[in-house]
Amino acid sequence: MPQFDHFAAIASLYACVTYSKTSVMREIARLPVKGSLLDVGGGTGRVSLALRDLVDEVVIADVSFGMLRQSPRSTLKPVCGGSESLPFADSSFERVIMVDALHHVLNHAESAREMFRVLKPGGLLIIEEPDIRTFGVKLIALAEKLLLMRSHFLTPDQIMKLFTNGEKQIHAEDGTAWVVVGK
Ligand SMILES: C[S@@+](CC[C@H](N)C(=O)[O-])C[C@H]1O[C@@H](n2cnc3c(N)ncnc32)[C@H](O)[C@@H]1O
């Protein structure tokens, strides 16, 4: 049965929310860098836009056409597709990021494998997630369940364990966790 696209319904609101963690992401992702960045589950491109000047090219991959439609096509390259099967060749991107989207994907392990596959050797993959170990995020998780959003939050340790290869690190502050995987 086709799933209701919750994000298409709120896409225009989402596009108005500024990404507030640019400086942390910039430091963790070691930006600027020469080359391409892939923003998986990038939605309206609000995170990509904040990082756009720090790389040569940004590509957004998202399953929600409604979210992608709100992204500025002249500066970001939107591609409609799921993280479980990314339509890119192996080792295509210097940086791969996924912000606030891992808990929404259908299959965590396949998404992790795909994001690592399209990352270039020497590149960095950064997954930013609400930190489910904190009380506030537990409440958000409950609210998303009540809204039938099929969210499934993982702890930073569980996210790290999705990756069998690569160097891994966790950074956490103020209810947000970043898992960084180097290839
Ligand atoms: C909470 S929004 C975050 C969007 C963006 N990263 C941001 O921070 O503004 C989650 C996004 O993940 C996307 N998404 C959900 N499942 C996905 C999947 N399997 N593959 C790619 N994108 C997915 C949704 O369509 C939505 O745009």
Give pLDDT, residue 3. 64
Q: How confident is residue 10, by pLDDT bands cut at 50, 70 and 90? A: confident
Report the candidate in 94, 53, 60, 97 with the shortest Cα–Cα distance to residue 79.
60
How far is ligand 1, taken at its centre, from the CA of residue 68, in Å? 10
Q: What is the DSSP string of 29-57?
A: TT-S-SSEEEEET-TTSHHHHHHGGGSSE
pLDDT at 13: 87
The Cα 29–Cα 115 span in angstroms is 15
Q: Is the CB of 126 under 6 A from ligand 1?
A: no
CB atoms near residue 75 (< 10 Å): 13
The rounded distance, in Å, linking the Cα atoms of 41 and 45 is: 9
Higher-pLDDT residue of 150 and 93 is 93
Q: Write down the pTM of the prediction.
A: 0.95
Q: What percent of the chain has pLDDT over 90?
A: 83
Domains in the chain: ranges and CATH: 6-182 (3.40.50.150)
Mean pLDDT, the chain, as a whole number?
94
> Quick one: average pLDDT of 153-157?
97
Residue 2 is predicted with a pLDDT of 52
Average pLDDT for 125-154: 92
Is any ligand 1 atom within 6 A of the Cβ of residue 11?
no
Mean pLDDT of 9-13: 86
Enclosing H/E stretch for 172: strand 167-173
The fraction of the chain above a pLDDT of 70, given in percent, is: 98
Ligand 1 contact, 144 CB (< 6 A):
no
Q: Is the CB of 151 under 6 A from ligand 1?
A: no
How far is Cα 35 from Cα 108, in angstroms, rounded to an integer? 26
